[in-house]
Structure 1
Amino acid sequence: MNDYLLKENILDSQAVIRLRSSVGWDSLSEPTLTKALANSIFFASIWHQGQAVAMGRIVGDGHQYFYLQDMIVDPAYQKLGLCQRITEHLVSQVKSIAEPGAFFGLMAAANVAGVYQKYGFVERPAHMPGMVMPIT
């Protein structure tokens, strides 16, 4: 894993469009994506051989509300622990600034929701979809 580098700088819109496309997500316009990315609270990407192969970010207000967003791993690089590495990094970043009582949430596909439980996220009731992480 030494040849996989974690970086905190925000990716350019073209790199994000490529990653989104690799997992079948809808395309966004470059201006919209550029603005959205610039408003990230935290950002992490994994690079391999000069190319971004995974990313994730934290959005919210930076005080009371935090959301883990846009966790993407290029399918050619899945099952290598890259999602785990990014998630651990971003959770650590949020915990470094969040005060008790802050809300830390995410939305996940049913088949990957369990991945986030090991970081402290818990499933919400069926009438309130999503997951939350109590900050203690």
Structure 2
Amino acid sequence: MAAGLITNSLTAAMPPLLLSWFDIGATAIVLIIAGALLAGMFMFVRIASDDSDKYKDLKEMVETIFGTPAHLRPSSNDASVNPKGKSSAKDIAAANPAPFSEPCPACSETVTERDSSCPSCGLQLQ
């Protein structure tokens, strides 16, 4: 019973829960930082999606980080090397594979470069 009296006297002595100036200031600082981060993200998205060349370097960095690296992307230099859309020897060789005649790995039927699948068993060929 004595323990109940001590607890009641302690809770009666405590003031009601009030916000102190420290709590209000800390909350305001956290909200300002969160608002600044949100505004920064919106500005970053607007800059990254801008069509002008105003932020060209930043856009290249974003493309490299989140997309295909610059050295793997097709560039305007490729069009200047090959004017008027003429095909190079490499493009022609890739489009027309060398003639061959080999047995199918599944059924040993003879297949050629013209077959995308085996005429006998239907195996898809690469």
Q: Structure 1 length as normaliser, TM-score? A: 0.21
Structure of higher RCO (CA pairs closer than 8 Å, 6+ residues apart): 1
Structure holding more helix per residue: 2
Q: Structure 2 length as normaliser, TM-score? A: 0.22
Structure holding more strand per residue: 1
